C-alpha cells in the first residue's frame, strides 16, 4: 500500500501519521496533548455521572461536576500527522496511522 509522504526541503521523505484514536480508558485528561497541538484537532470533554459528554475549557475549575475528563478528537481533518500529541502523552493513549495515497 502506498501512503501519503511529504518531501522535506532537503529532499528527504517524511511520512505523516495522522491521529486515529485516543484510548479514553487510559486518558487522565491532563491536557498535555492539547497544549502541543497547533491545529485545533483536540477537545477536552467532561463525562458526568449520567454519561453525558460536555465540551470543556482546559484549566476550568469544574472538577466536581464530572466523573471523568478525557481528551477527544474533535476535528480529525485538521491533523497534519506530526505525532506531537502522542510523544507528550504520559499514558500512551494515542493511535496514529499513515494515510493511504
Interacting residues toward ligand SF4 by CB under 6 A? 19, 22, 27-33, 36-37, 39, 41-42, 71, 79-85, 88-89, 91, 93
Output the smallest distance, CB 50 to ligand SF4, in A: 22
Output the smallest distance, CB 13 to ligand SF4, in A: 18
Bridge partners of 13, per DSSP, are 7
46 and 69 Cβ atoms separated by less than 8 Å: yes
Output the smallest distance, CB 58 to ligand SF4, in A: 9
Say how far apart CA 74 and CA 83 lie, in whole Å: 16
Comparing CB distances to ligand SF4, the nearer of 5 and 11 is 5
Comparing CB distances to ligand SF4, the nearer of 47 and 80 is 80
Comparing CB distances to ligand SF4, the nearer of 37 and 56 is 37
Beta strands in the chain (DSSP E): 6-7, 13-14, 18-22, 42-47, 53-55, 68-73, 94-97
Bridge partners of 72, per DSSP, are 43
Amino acid at each position: 500500500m502506498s501512503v501519503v509522504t511529504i518531501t522535506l526541503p532537503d529532499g528527504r521523505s517524511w511520512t505523516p501519521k495522522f491521529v486515529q484514536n485516543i484510548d479514553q480508558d487510559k486518558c487522565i485528561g491532563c491536557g498535555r496533548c492539547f497544549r502541543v497541538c497547533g491545529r485545533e484537532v483536540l477537545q477536552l470533554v467532561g463525562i458526568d455521572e449520567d454519561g453525558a459528554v460536555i465540551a470543556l475549557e482546559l484549566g476550568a475549575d469544574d472538577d466536581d461536576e464530572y466523573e471523568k475528563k478525557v481528551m477527544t478528537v474533535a476535528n480529525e481533518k485538521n491533523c497534519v500527522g506530526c505525532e506531537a500529541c502522542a510523544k507528550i502523552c504520559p499514558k500512551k493513549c494515542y493511535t496514529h496511522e499513515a494515510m493511504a495515497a
